[in-house]
Amino acid sequence: MKKPEGKYAWTVTVGEKGQIVIPKKARALFDIQPGDTLVMLGDVKKGLAIPPKRAFDRFAAAVFETEEDEGGGAE
């Protein structure tokens, strides 16, 4: 089976303390550095996603920017 372009999959093992190690290739590909903050998102039906915080920050900023442009938001 051919891997779709830009799609990746890795396996990780959860340790006794609930910790996982992000594979080296994944850290390099997504420029994840020691001390970086990641956001863990969960959906009971779809599973977990762990985007870098900087990606989540951009998403949140875009959401709030849209609300302000439309006159929304609490004042």
Residues 21-73 have pLDDT tens digits of: 999 999 999 899 999 888 888 999 999 888 877 777 777 787 787 655 555 55
The pLDDT score that the predictor gives to residue 72 is 53
Number of domains in the chain: 1
**Helix or strand holding residue 42 (H, E):** strand 41-43
Any idea what the Cα angle at residue 40 is, between residues 35 and 43, rounded to 5°? Answer: 175
* C-alpha to C-alpha distances, 61 to 42, 69, 75, nearest whole angstrom: 20, 12, 17
Gyration radius of the chain's alpha carbons: 17
pTM greater than the 0.75 cutoff: no
Domain that holds residue 33: 24-69
CB 42 within 8 A of CB 48: yes
Q: Who wins on pLDDT, 75 or 66? A: 66
Question: What's residue 5's pLDDT?
Answer: 87
> d(Cα 32, Cα 53) in Å, to the nearest integer?
10
